[in-house]
Amino acid sequence: MDYSNEPEHSELLVVQAQEPFNAEPLSAALVEFQLTPEELVYCRNHGPVRQFSEDDYTLTVKGMVGKEVTLSMRDIKTMFPQTRVVAALQCAGNRRNEMGAIKRVHGVGWNDGVIANCSWGGVKLCDVLKYAEIQHDNAHVCFTSYATLCQDDTYYGSSIPVERAMNTENDVLLAFEMNHEALSAEHGGPLRLVVPGVLGARWVKWLDTIIVSPDESPNFYQQRDYKVLPPTIETKADAKDVWSKYPAIESLPLNSVIALAVHHPSSSSLFVKGYAVPGSSGNVASVEVSINDGESWVSAKITYQKGRWSWTLWEAEVTDVPQSGTVFSRAIDELGRVQNKECVWNMRGVAYNAWGHKSW
Ligand SMILES: Nc1nc2c(c(=O)[nH]1)N[C@H]1C(S)=C(S)[C@@H](COP(=O)(O)O)O[C@H]1N2
Ligand SMILES: [Mo]
């Protein structure tokens, strides 16, 4: 694969792999901003980053539709109402290194910065699908970027169920703006998919083709990756023949991370700050922290949450702390579900969501 045309990458990221380019910020930097500035948005690639001119870029919609259409970027921007949504983009591999500490996992070694909370601008996917006269019983909407080569397949692809795509409240967008600016090549410009509440792997960058199909996307990244395999499957060889038995991840689980813990010895207090994200059963309602034992918990203050799809920022000041120790965090959602102390290991190291922790 050809990596000679990569755009300049942000210098504020910790590079976890050079080719393909995979890099994340420190979570302590991330939580300083409600909306993640572009230089702090992680980069997750399975192949080279491609740069396209908007002028001759097109999107084709085909498959189970009444009318197959090919739209230019100008068509997309002028034929459909434009809209914006704040949504957290998170890789399923966020916190993978913590799962890898339990037992070896396969995948890029990620810490806890593989998340970005951005304002995405574009048009609603459902409007474009309606225009193509989608016929939608039990179907899947498959997204592909034939424009890019990948490590494990000849193109990058994903799919979501039609119901998620067609329910306007889900805010699934064909996005051409990030944080009120033109979407950069690095993050999938001219056009990427945005699926709030769903793992980043489905948010296809450099999107050029949508196929409405009776089946899920046959792409490698939908079928043989991004699944939580049972812990009995320990190696790639074990996994080889069983991928199709397990569902593709859609929502990532309820999670919280401690990004920084600052100890003030003179007042015996600890200032703690972090982020949280919801699972599939309602938004984050509260975040709690515990010193050392995980028995007694105090509520953190939620300092930011915007609509249904953003991350939650929180902070807490805990008094009477010892000279050194460990602080834990857990998130609780609107249904009262509580983030678990531990997370069951899986071979790919995806969807890790044990309590957040930080030592001082
Ligand atoms: N075409 C294409 N789209 C892609 C990917 C990719 O490698 N190629 N990576 C996916 C994954 S796994 C994630 S987490 C997000 C990362 O988006 P970002 O690089 O803008 O942060 O894009 C998704 N879309
Ligand atoms: Mo990802």
State the pLDDT at residue 59: 98
**DSSP labels for 9-78?**
PPTTSEEEETTTTEEE--HHHHTT-SSPPGGGS-B--SS------GGG-EEEEEESBSS-EEEEHHHHHH
- Structure token pair of residue 141: 């909407």
Whole-angstrom distance, CA of residue 287 vs CA of residue 256: 8
- Cα-to-centroid distance, 171 and ligand 2 (Å): 20
Same domain, 259 and 321: yes
- Cα-to-centroid distance, 92 and ligand 2 (Å): 5
Which residue numbers in the chain have pLDDT < 50?
A: none
- Domain hosting 338: range is 255-359
Q: Which of 199, 217, 245 is the last residue of a domain?
A: 245
Short-list 2, 8, 4, 3, CA closest to 186? 8
Nearest CA to ligand 1 atom 23: 201
**Contact call for residues 73 and 190 (beta carbons, < 8 A):** yes
- Cα-to-centroid distance, 201 and ligand 2 (Å): 4
State the pLDDT at residue 147: 85
Q: Which of 245, 266, 284 is the last residue of a domain?
A: 245
Taking the alpha carbons at both ends of the chain, their separation in whole angstroms is: 44
State the pLDDT at residue 293: 84
State the pLDDT at residue 160: 98
State the pLDDT at residue 149: 84
Nearest CA to ligand 1 atom 24: 204
Same domain, 29 and 94: yes
State the pLDDT at residue 199: 98
Nearest CA to ligand 1 atom 5: 45
State the pLDDT at residue 214: 96
Same domain, 207 and 260: no
204 lines ligand 1 (CB under 6 A): yes
Q: Which of 245, 270, 296 is the last residue of a domain?
A: 245
- 130: Cβ contacts below 8 Å, ≥ 6 apart: none
90 lines ligand 1 (CB under 6 A): no
